[in-house]
Structure 1
Amino acid sequence: MSRLLVALALSLFAASAQAQLWGYVDANGVAHLAQQQLDGRYSLVMGRSEVGRVPGKLDGSHELLTWLEFAPEVKAVQPWLREAAGKHGVDLELLKAVIAVESGFKRDAVSPRGAVGLMQIMAPADQQQRLLEPRHNIHTGAQMLAGLIKKFGRIDAALAAWNAGEGTVRRNGGRMPNIAETQAHVHLVLELYWALLQRSLPATAQRLKIHGSPR
């Protein structure tokens, strides 16, 4: 499927999303993201507000996407994102969206449940230190995500499995389970993925080709 068709499919999916992504960029150039408005510094970046915004469209500041394009911590791992995307067949924009929502590009992030690094990968204690190495974390996460997409055949189901576990998605017929936290997580990743695709498409439009299905 071409990136243009992926963007179209995600725009239709995101139209039903109820999740919101709030954020701001501080004076040190650090982006802060949350699923709700924690204080007055946070503005709605993606999702619907009570007055009804277009899903996937940014507010006037464009701060988050600009931060994802120019922040030193994002640029530092960009070569590994390109490398992993090419090796494992996962869009760079999807990897970037997953990392932004999972860890905010904090390479040393460790969750209370033991998820480690940029892509917040669950691992035994003896493997956690290695997963804090950004390149290894990105390649491991990209390989895992590619496997989930192949297994379930849908990006939303793969992301749900990433968040809630493969067994949960399998018990729900290979589709996203009715778990509010998982649905919000998946919607946020997909909306950010869609927005990143929208931003990247103009720069790559001359290289895009859409082919019909073989007969």
Structure 2
Amino acid sequence: MHTARRWLQGTAVALVLSLSAPAWAEIWGFVDKRGVSHFADHQVDRRYELFYRGGQQRAARKPPGMAPGAAYAPQLQARFAVSTSYKAVRHLIREAATAYGLEYELLKAVIATESGFNAHAVSPKGAVGLMQLMPDTARRFGVKADTHQTLQERLTDPRTNILAGASYLAWLLKYFDGETELALAAYNAGEGAVMRAGRRIPNYRETRDYVRKVTQLHQNLLPPRTLSRQRTATSSTGILPGQGALPTAKL
């Protein structure tokens, strides 16, 4: 998917974070008056509060037994807890994650990065909604216009958008044999771009930044025990827990 995202009305989520420990970057954020979450790797303006820096949590300690090098940002969780736009759709994220065998925190991280939970976000290239789906991609995964709404209008419906986007993400994970970073790169740049790069993350700055953003946000959202189990499972199988056959959900 082509997602050269620069969201209208300042709803972009910027989380330019490093993939490798221990070089964890800072995470700053705030929730605006509309309940839209905003994150960045630096203090964009005075609204942004620092709640994670370089492997240490502001005013918090890592829980006992946490995996070495793992990130844990309780204040990041608190930001989501006060985001009305997130709270309005979290049940839909849970529904889609369950329907398509995805990890809830991964799907949540993708949506946060794509749109900041703004259901009406539209990119300059025409990607629509919470998961910033291009119309052609949405058609591939079951979204159609009807007598009352255009396809683009249907994509502003949170449930329709999340289910279609989750279906696409699950398909990408299966297509790339459970390699999450490749699936995320394909979600951003298209599976063709990943294949042309030799089944590697394409050398596009935007795509590499995107993979870093989602990966680090995902890891920061995981409960410590889940993160530890996931790393163990991934190291032994290369596939994230919960991946497998893809069920379908009615859009």
- TM-score with structure 2 setting the length: 0.64
Q: Separation in 1 of the partners of 2:184 and 2:151?
A: 23
Number of residue-to-residue matches in the alignment: 188
Q: Separation in 2 of the partners of 1:180 and 1:20?
A: 19
1:59-208 paired onto structure 2 within 5 Å: 59-60=58-59, 62-123=74-135, 126-153=150-177, 154-198=179-223, 201=226
Greater mean alpha carbon deviation, residues 190-199 or residues 148-157: 190-199
Query: Could you list the runs of 5+ residues in structure 1 that have no partner in the other structure?
Result: 1-11
Identity of aligned residues (%): 46
Higher helix share: 1
Q: Separation in 2 of the partners of 1:73 and 1:37?
A: 22
Report SS of the residue matched to 1:121: coil
Q: Which residue of the partner structure matches residue 22 of structure 1?
A: 28
Are residues 75 and 15 of structure 1, via their aligned partners in 2, closer, same or farther at CA, if it must alter by over 3 Å?
A: same
Query: Could you list the runs of 5+ residues in structure 2 that have no partner in the other structure?
Result: 1-17, 60-72, 137-144, 238-251
Q: Which residue of the partner structure matches residue 45 of structure 2?
A: 39
Once the 2 structures are TM-superposed, how far is the Cα of residue 161 of structure 1 from its aligned partner? Answer: 0.6
Are residues 188 and 59 of structure 1, via their aligned partners in 2, closer, same or farther at CA, if it must alter by over 3 Å?
A: farther
Q: Separation in 2 of the partners of 1:27 and 1:79?
A: 22
Q: Separation in 1 of the partners of 2:155 and 2:33?
A: 30
The two structures, once aligned, show a CA RMSD in angstroms of 3.1
Q: Separation in 1 of the partners of 2:121 and 2:33?
A: 21
